[in-house]
Amino acid sequence: MALHTFVILAYHESDNLEECIKSILKQSTKSIVLIATSTPNDYIMDLASYYGIGVMVNNEESNKGNDYNFAISIANTKLVTIAHQDDLYNRNYTKEVVKSYRKNKNASIIFTDNYEIKDDKMIFKNKRLFRKRYYLYPLSINKFQNNKYFKMRCLKKEKFICTSSITFIKKNLPDNLFPIDYTYDNDWKGLIKLVTLPYKFVFIKEKLVGYRIDDIKENDDKIREDEMILKDNYPLWYYEKILKKK
């Protein structure tokens, strides 16, 4: 019986979808692979048919929270990774996650380090990645993985966990983990819900996911959502201090 499912979230007609599919199908440890979409079209259906992948259509309103919750719900395995169509997976991603799960069945999430992809170039080191690894490092150490302080530390100022790198352990998740009243920060807000639960956050230090970035500037709605989360995470005086630095 399969232990792990990749659910690829596909939208519209992304040029990167096929490359994402190929990276997942080349995994050294095989998984069930599905595509979930709230924007079904011939492009997605044709690619899925060519690679022999089942497509599940989410008929709810297209919203990041709805789409993430739907992706988790359609996986009938203990482990599920929500793969974004723009990102790439090292061939040993599933192998390392499954190996970690067998040692950490009391985790809610297992996630890996990532590198960045920009203009088709792979970037393994920069200030942003250094900062992220600084905050995530304690969660690679067993005694800190179920510590609320260290779990929240990597989510308090910003979301240092790369969502595409996360494998969720379904039995240790609440229903409808991701809120639907956000447009951009649904994943950040959802992960914060997991901090107080008695389950580990397990960080694998290998760089097993390529996260595609761009230079699109944050819009007013994204800034507003960031501020809402920060306001929940900090006392008012410190929240205002953070805003002044931004």
For the stretch 188-199, pLDDT in tens is: 999 999 999 999
For the stretch 26-78, pLDDT in tens is: 999 999 999 999 999 999 999 999 999 999 999 988 889 999 999 999 999 99
Q: Domains of the chain by range and CATH? A: 4-215 (3.90.550.10)
Q: Which residues contact 192 (CB under 8 A, 6 or more apart)?
A: 152, 155, 229, 233
Report whether pLDDT(242) > 90. Answer: no
- The pTM (predicted TM-score) of the whole model is 0.93
CA distances from 69 to 37, 39, 63, 129, 168 (A): 12, 16, 10, 28, 11
Cα(27)–Cα(59) distance, rounded to whole angstroms? Answer: 30
The answer to whether 58 and 70 have CB atoms below 8 angstroms apart is: yes
Q: What mean pLDDT is predicted for residues 208-223?
A: 80
3-state class (DSSP) for residue 111: strand
